[in-house]
Chains A and B, each alone.
Chain A
Amino acid sequence: MDTIPAQLLYTSDHEWVSIVDGIATIGITDHAQDQLGDIVFCGDSPEPKSKVEKGDTIAVVESVKANSDIYSPVDGRVVEVNEELEEEPELVNGDCYGKGWILKVKVKDPDDIIELLNAEQYEKLVENES
């Protein structure tokens, strides 16, 4: 069973977003990490302070059998990249909503979050894809 925490927001590309004080923390969902399998690399993110636009690639996640681009769900500026993933990419498998966070973006327009999915909507999306 995939975990879909109720308090987070989601994208149709299987990313989760948590927005606190205008800063969006972004990662990939339990469904995504499960589909990818063992993750061996997560990186190639823009430097902190770089501008990003919705849809820009903000990270690449490589598993043993596939790779996946992670897209920015919002316009904004990169605040922080999770450096722990350099040595321990498997955190994305083991703790995708916690220690496996990928990067933080300062959101330009708070109204952007209206387009994100809530937990119920994301759950339906995952069901339809299976």
Chain B
Amino acid sequence: MSKADLDKLKKTPFFDLHVEAGARLVDFGGWALPVQYEGILAEHHRVREKVGLFDVSHMGEFFVEGEGAEAFLQRMTTNDVSTLSDGQAHYTVSLYEHGGIVDDLLVYKRGEGRYLVCVNAACIEKDWDWFSSHHDEGRDGCTLVNGSESWAQLAIQGRHAQALLQKLTDVDLGGVTYYRFAEGVLAGINCIIARTGYTGEDGFELFLSGDDAASMWSSLFDAGEEYGLQPIGLGARDTLRLESKYCLYGNDITDQTTPLEGRLAWIVKLDKGDFIGRDALVAQKEAGIPRRLVGFELLGRGIARHGYSVLLHGEVVGEVTSGAHSPSLGKSIGLCYLPAGSTKSGTEFEVQVRKKRVPAVVVKTPFYKRPY
């Protein structure tokens, strides 16, 4: 990418460090981000076998605070916010009235009436418009702030993540269990330390001030040397999350898919009370969900890529939403929507891979399960 092109893109606080580390940078939704350093396959295997560091500062952070914060988030999302305890997070989606998905997000309860909402980078502006257009400070009894510009975020993922980070903090990380978080000092920096991630490995995500970025990066690499810590790019991030069957908004879930179609019923709590999109989901449940997101493997040669047509009995029924060569399985895997009645494991269909129709089969997901 030319310097002129790079100059037009947004940069995270770690940009200079990526360049120094030899990253190949690409335009990711208007951000200059590393797609790879040593190579996608090597980076993928490193996270699966050791530990890797991801710059995820392009993600967005909204803060909802006040007595009415819980009620506001209950209305805006499908999962039950009232079940969160202090220091706990959950995965959820925000819906349009018609049931399509605005974005998938994580909600963190920092304390009574204090929430952090983490949103996808590509959706920050859209989500902000969506949340703020439904928010009125006086009526809702809470403030809504977009902190995305000043917060940085790093993900440390892999079996050595806890040991690595424990060297840098007095916070007992063993006590920070899955989908819980602590707020404390790590490497001398105040941050939120959450046991969450997008790779299917054990690991943590750190939220910190953008001003502390360079210092945190260098502390992590010092502590991480004995564990083989290296920076990991977006290319490996995508193969890791796909193997673990984590959805990518914009690919697997969109404003044209409901969470019921997307196999996300587990984060939809229809009984919690009303929320935007609830009526549409109830109606869809009653009418019968017309299609579902499935995982598949190709049975022949090729890689099923996003956008390739999916055929059932010779007719096009949809497209591959995400697909790749799976480094850990050595197969071609992917996700797509198939019509109701054709979504069971073992169902055979075809993917149009360029000029060839390649046989494919629905398989159980996640494709990869970590062995520890």
Contacts and interface: CB of A to CB of B under 8 A. Distances in A.
A64 interface: yes
Contact of B35 (A41, A62, A65): A65
Nearest to A37: B40
Query: A-B pairs with the 3 shortest C-beta distances?
Result: A38-B41, A40-B325, A64-B40
A19 B272 CA distance: 73
A62 B325 CA distance: 9
A41 B301 contact: yes
Nearest to A90: B41
8 contacts: A37-B36, A37-B235, A38-B39, A38-B40, A41-B301, A41-B325, A62-B303, A64-B40
Contacts of A37: 36, 39-40, 235
A64 B35 CA distance: 11
Contacts of A43: 301
A60 interface: yes
A67 B305 CA distance: 10
B87 interface: no
Interface in B5-63: 35-36, 39-42
Interface in A59-113: 60, 62, 64-65, 67
Residue of A38, A44, A60, A130 with most chain B CB atoms under a 10 A cut-off:
A38
A37 B325 CA distance: 13
Contacts of A44: 301
B263 to A, nearest CB: 25
Nearest to B39: A38
A64 B301 contact: no
A118 B302 CA distance: 33
Interface string B315-328: 00000000011010
Nearest to A43: B301
Nearest to A93: B39
Contacts of A64: 40-41, 235, 239, 324-325, 327
A126 to B, nearest CB: 14
Interface string B75-112: 00000000000000000000000000000000000000
A65 B39 CA distance: 11
B285 interface: no
Contacts of A41: 301-303, 325
Nearest to B2: A130
Interface in A15-51: 37-38, 40-41, 43-44
Given A37-B40, A38-B41, A64-B325, 15 more contacts: A37-B36, A37-B235, A38-B39, A38-B40, A40-B325, A41-B301, A41-B302, A41-B325, A62-B302, A62-B303, A62-B325, A64-B239, A64-B324, A67-B303, A67-B305
Given A37-B235, A40-B325, A65 B302 contact: no
Nearest to B36: A37
Contacts of B301: 41, 43-44
B271 to A, nearest CB: 43
Contacts of B325: 40-41, 62, 64
Nearest to B327: A64
B303 A60 contact: no
A65 B40 contact: yes
B49 to A, nearest CB: 16
Contacts of A38: 39-42
B126 interface: no
A118 to B, nearest CB: 26
A60 B356 CA distance: 12
Contacts of B327: 64
B195 to A, nearest CB: 28
Nearest to A65: B235
Nearest to B239: A64
A7 B327 CA distance: 36
A34 to B, nearest CB: 9
Contact of A40 (B35, B303, B354): B303
A14 to B, nearest CB: 17
A82 to B, nearest CB: 16
A67 B354 CA distance: 10
A42 B57 CA distance: 36
Nearest to A130: B2
Residue of B2, B239, B302, B324 with most chain A CB atoms under a 10 A cut-off:
B302
Nearest to B35: A65
Nearest to B44: A64
